[in-house]
Amino acid sequence: MSTGKGQKRVKNIPVLYDEMKKRRGINLTDTAWEILARQAKIEKISVSEFIERYARKLDVTEG
C-alpha cells in the first residue's frame, strides 16, 4: 500500500482511502503504546496509520 508520500495534500480530500480520517481517542497502557509505536516505526508509518491498516485487515467485508 502507498504511504501517500509525494502526493500533494489538500484539506478535506482523502489521500490513502476513500474517506477522511477523524480524530479519535483511545486509552492504552504505556506498554501497548510502545509496542505499537515500535512496529509503526519499523514500517515507517504513524501509529494512527498502523492501527488503520490493522483494523482494515480484520474487516472481512472489505475487498
Domain membership flag for residue 47: yes
Question: Residue-wise pLDDT tens for the chain (63 aa)?
Answer: 555 556 666 766 766 667 887 889 999 999 999 999 999 999 999 999 999 999 989 977 755
Position 32 in a domain:
yes
The answer to whether residue 12 is domain-embedded is no
Q: Does residue 8 fall inside a structural domain?
A: no
3 Cβ neighbours under 8 A, 6+ residues apart: 16, 44, 45, 49
In a domain? residue 11: no
What is the structure's pLDDT at 19?
80
What is the distance between the alpha carbons of residues 59 and 41, in angstroms, rounded to a whole number? 24
Residue-range definition of the domain harbouring residue 54 = 27-63
Q: Write down the pLDDT at residue 13.
A: 73
pTM of the model: 0.67
Strands (E), the chain: none
9 is a domain residue: no
The domain tally of the chain equals: 1
Domain presence at residue 35: yes
